[in-house]
Amino acid sequence: METYAYGFPHYGTNREYKKLIEGFWDKKVSEEELRSGLESLERERIDLYQKYVDYFPSGEMTVYDPMLDMAVMLGIYTCENLDQYFYLCRGKNALDLTKWFNTDYHYLVPEISSIPSPSKVRSAKKRFKKLRVQEQGIPYLIGPFTFLKLSKVYEKDKFEQHLLALAEAYAELIQDYDLIHIDEPAFVQDITDHEKELIRRAYKIMNQAHKDIFLFTYYDSVDFLEELYQLPVKGIGLDLIYGSRNLDFILEHGFPDDKILIAGIVDGRRALWRTDIDKAVEMVNELSLYAPDFMISNASPLYHLPITIEGEEQLDSWLLEQLSFARERLYELQLISQVYEGEVEESPEWYTPRDQKYFTVDKQLQRRLKKLQEADFARSTPHTERVKIQKKVLNLPLFPTTTIGSYPQTKEVRKARAGFKSGRVSKQDYDTFVSEKISDLIRFQEDVGLDVLVHGEFERSDMVEFFAQKLNGIATTKNGWVISYGTRGYRPPIIYGDISRSEPMTVKEVAYAQSLTDKPVKGMLTGPVTIIAWSYVRDDIPIHEVAYSIALCHQDEIKDYEKNGIKIIQIDEPAFREKAPLKRRDWAAYFDWAIKAFRLASHAKPETQIHTHMCYSEFSEIIDYIVDMDFDVISIEAARSRADIIQVFSKIEFSRQIGLGVWDVHSPAVPAVSQMEAIVKEVAKVVPIENIWVNPDCGLKTRKWEETIASLKNLVKTAQRLRKKYTSS
Ligand code: GLN
Ligand code: ZN
């Protein structure tokens, strides 16, 4: 039985990818060094593929983002060199950054007004070769439907025309190859009948090239398998882990004789538990009855997993022995194939059933969960009343200014934390260091003239990992980096047991910050949904129980904040939207627990102002759910996508306060006052001005101090100008 793997992480075990590219930006790495560095990284990846599996794609190594690669390859953007390519990734003219399906990867959104002709595509393809990092394997492309669906198409009614033109362009792109790997994850979304018809026509056009296509879908099941079976492709990759309905369909309706089933049976995503090899072989045996010609593969791209468990020996050995990262997934594919072929017996050391005793440890928590009642999920006073109480307590000006939490994590800060972690810096010295940073920052924020201050999150490495390290029942890795966008990575924690809080997690720093100023200091928590979304989560209990356990810890934390005189608390939920299932029919169940978890967490006194923060959260679709979260203030991204926001708020009457993220912090550019003012003025046409806050669109962790100082000065000036304008007119 043959094996196929795709999407193996290109980040490098020691984050070489990040170091190379960021080094190039900082002019510390030459173009030649960058190229040879990326090439050796790619070599390592290919060596691994070759060691474990029979087939794999080529061209997965991007210098920033695969969606942008597609757009450049198609000639939608012209890039003669790396600088021109990176120009689209960062800086003033960067493309929008948006979540890739319901994962924690973010892609650059191409903007499409027309599709280049096949002859233009031909020259673009040639140009793109210069940006490519070696090619070995089956050429990989994001399919035309997914590409267009995920791009920004200005004239919505041109979707059909564009897709058919794209199909011609793709026919040109695939001309030089015999076999092509095409990813169409958008096929697992809700697809209309019209779209199905368009997909059929597009693939027919592509088929003019008479090439063999392996078409991959993943992250969920495909609702139109019957039609998918009819497409002129050679192989179909299906996710049988997150798309269990795919499996049901095959068992009921079989699989076409003239196609290869590429059965995704090894988890590429959320649960890190090792594959039960015997069970997998059993499934393969069953599948083989329905699909005469088949291979096995990972169920979704492997870049959502860290590279390897090797080097994670600090984890409890019982836990380590349950885990499988990307490299181990390749090994599992090989093992399944070998067991299936009778070449080896299942090695008993690989998979052992999980021992329940490690999972259920906290009786007190379980009692608390059982006792939860309706009232625990609601605040005692409606927000319309809370507004009045809070106004008196806080006494803020019109257009209050604030920041989202983190301030530049300079080398100095990272060095101190690393020193503390490794034991080189004593706890006392580290605490003193953090306290100094906090007091400097309080002074800075007062000087700049911000209205609601923060403590700066200097003690936090990552907003999820930090809490994971404080909470019981969650493990963190040393080197389990996963790409989040471009060159950015993070280390998702592993939720394996019952979650509880032994002591306050964040109160000391925030209370200290508050003791230094008369202005309100905002307490800062990462919400339950985001902790779950950016972690690997145990799957032996219902997800809502995991969420409520975290929420109860937050509730206790908020009580401690209140005791310490903190009047504003922000619960960050940047992953609230991305965690939503891909199919609408699954939304109600998801939002039910997600909203309840937020409400349980934010069960505060009426005078405590609860903020939430969501960054790039395609707002319009979830606005009804968002209102149900019952916060007092929400901060959202408004610099890149203001038109969308205006549209949403012009349609509904949103009576809560909104923090407009008018400064795009993912770009080093300093926003001009006029630019930020213009955004607020436009929004002020559809939102009452008393409800508008002015802030950056996310934390300032990755920014430099110079940019931060200049930008915040402008931000405060923006608010001052607005106050003048709206109080005098
Ligand atoms: N409070 C966090 C910070 O400022 C929020 C980050 C986020 O939304 N991604 O870093
Ligand atoms: Zn954010």
Residue pLDDT, tens place only, 193-210: 999 999 999 999 999 989
Q: Which residues, other chains included, contact 321 with Cβ-Cβ below 8 Å and sequence gap of 6+? A: 352
pLDDT exceeds 90 at position 349: no
End residue of a domain, out of 352, 377, 409: 352
In a domain, 141, yes or no: yes
- Same domain? 95 vs 125: yes
Q: Specify the pLDDT at position 134.
A: 75
- Same-domain check for residues 46 and 128: yes
Please give the residue that has the higher pLDDT: either 554 or 157: 554
pLDDT, one tens digit per residue, over 666-697 is: 888 999 999 999 999 999 999 999 999 999 99
Ligand 2 centroid to residue 18 C-alpha, Å: 21
Confidence band for 729, pLDDT divided at 50, 70 and 90: low
Cα-to-centroid distance, 615 and ligand 2 (Å): 4
The ligand that comes nearest to the alpha carbon of residue 404 is: 1
Pick from 525, 534, 574, 580: nearest CA to 553: 525
467, 635, 701: residue to mutate for ligand 1 pocket, most atoms within 8 A of CB:
701
Question: Given this model, what pLDDT does residue 360 score?
Answer: 64
The pLDDT of residue 348? 62
Kindly report, residue by residue over 229-253, the tens digit of the pLDDT: 999 999 999 999 999 899 999 999 9
Query: With the CA atoms of 309, 310, 315 and 319 taken in that order, what torsion angle do they form, in degrees rounded to the nearest 10?
Result: 50
Same domain, 452 and 562: yes
Q: Which of 99, 406, 409, 441 has most ligand 1 atoms within 8 Å of CB, for mutation?
A: 406
- Cα(576) to centroid(ligand 2), Å: 11
For the cut 70, the answer to whether the pLDDT of residue 617 exceeds it is no
Domain of residue 669 covers 363-728
- pLDDT at residue 511 above 90? yes
Q: Whose CA is nearest to atom 3 of ligand 1?
A: 699
In a shared domain, residues 369 and 333: no
Atom 1, ligand 1: which residue's CA is nearest?
A: 405
Other beta carbons less than 10 A from residue 704's beta carbon: 12
C-alpha 635 to ligand 2 mean position (Å): 9
Over the chain, what is the mean pLDDT? 94
- Tell how strand 488-490 and strand 482-485 pair up: antiparallel
Question: What confidence tier does 525 reach under pLDDT thresholds 50, 70, 90?
Answer: very high
Distance 529 CA to ligand 2 centre (A): 14
| Ligand 1 binding site (Cβ under 6 Å of any ligand atom) | 404-406, 457, 463, 524, 572, 574, 613, 615, 698-699, 701
Tokens describing residue 494: 């592993």
Coil/strand/helix, residue 354 = coil
159: Cα within 13 Å, side-chain hemisphere: 15
Whether 598 is covered by a domain: the verdict is: yes
CB atoms within 10 A of CB 14: 12
CA of 614 to the centre of ligand 2 (A): 6
Average pLDDT of the segment spanning 305-311: 96
Residue identifier of the C-alpha nearest atom 6 of ligand 1: 699
Same domain, 82 and 185: yes
Instruction: Answer whether residue 330 is part of any domain.
Output: yes
The reply to whether 559 and 603 lie within a common domain is yes
**Residue 702: pLDDT over 80:** yes
Domain assignment present for 34 = yes
Geometric angle at alpha carbon 404, from 408 and 98, rounded to 5°: 90
Residues 503 and 652 in one domain: yes
d(CA 24, CA 19): 8
Please tell me the number of the ligand nearest to residue 572's CA: 1
Average pLDDT of 619-630?
Answer: 88
Question: Is 312 a domain residue?
Answer: no
Q: Are residues 371 and 338 in the same domain?
A: no
Cα–Cα distance for residue pair 331/340, rounded to 1 Å: 14
Q: Is residue 150 part of a domain?
A: yes
Nearest to 586 by CA among 196, 103, 220: 220
pLDDT of residue 357: 67
Q: Give the 3-state secondary structure of residue 262.
A: strand
Report the residue among 441, 454, 463, 529 best suited for mutation to probe ligand 1: largest number of ligand atoms under 8 A from its CB. Answer: 463
Same-domain status, 247 and 374: no
473 φψ region: left (φ > 0), alpha (ψ -120 to 50), beta (else): left
Residue 24 to residues 35, 63, 128, 665, Cα–Cα distance (Å) = 10, 11, 19, 21
Any idea which ligand is nearest the CA of 702?
A: 1
Among residues of the chain, what percentage have pLDDT more than 70? 98
Name 680's Cβ contacts closer than 8 Å, sequence gap at least 6.
Answer: 399, 660, 662, 692, 694, 718, 722
Asked whether residue 280 falls in the same domain as residue 369, the answer is no
Tell me, in angstroms, the distance from the centre of ligand 1 to residue 571's CA.
10
- The crossing angle, in degrees rounded to 10, of helices 673-684 and 705-728 is 40
CATH of the domain at 442: 3.20.20.210
Of the residues 10, 304, 455, 666, only one is catalytic, namely 666
How many domains does the chain contain in total? 2
Identify whether 666 is a catalytic site residue.
yes
pLDDT at 446: 98
85-94, 395-404, 669-678, range with the lowest pLDDT: 85-94
Residue 157 per-residue DSSP state = G
Ligand with smallest separation from the Cα of 699: 1
- What's the rounded Cα separation, in Å, for the pair 246 and 88? 38
Q: What is the secondary structure of 282-321 as a DSSP string?
A: HHHHHHHHH-SSEEEEESS-GGGS-S-STT-TTS-HHHHT
Whether 346 and 471 map to the same domain: the answer is no
- Asked whether the predicted pLDDT for residue 650 surpasses 90, the reply is no
Task: Give every CB contact of residue 493 below 8 A, 6+ residues apart in sequence.
Answer: 464, 465, 468, 469, 474, 475, 476, 477, 531, 534, 535, 536
Smallest CA separation from ligand 1 atom 4, residue: 699
Q: Which ligand is nearest to the CA of 484?
A: 1
When pLDDT is cut at 50, 70 and 90, the band that residue 362 belongs to is confident
Q: Which residue among 613, 637, 663, 666 has the greatest number of ligand 1 atoms within 8 angstroms of its CB, and so is best to mutate?
A: 613
pLDDT tops 80 at residue 411: yes
Q: 309 in a domain, yes or no?
A: no
Q: Do 288 and 261 meet the contact criterion of CB atoms below 8 Å apart?
A: no
| pLDDT tops 70 at residue 359 | no
The rounded Å distance from CA 615 to ligand 1 centre is: 8
Kindly give the pairing relationship between strand 235-239 and strand 212-216.
Answer: parallel
310 inside domain: no
Domain check: are 230 and 334 in the same one?
yes
User: Residues 573-585: pLDDT tens digits?
Assistant: 998 988 899 999 9
Locate the ligand 1 atom nearest the alpha carbon of residue 526 and give its number: 1
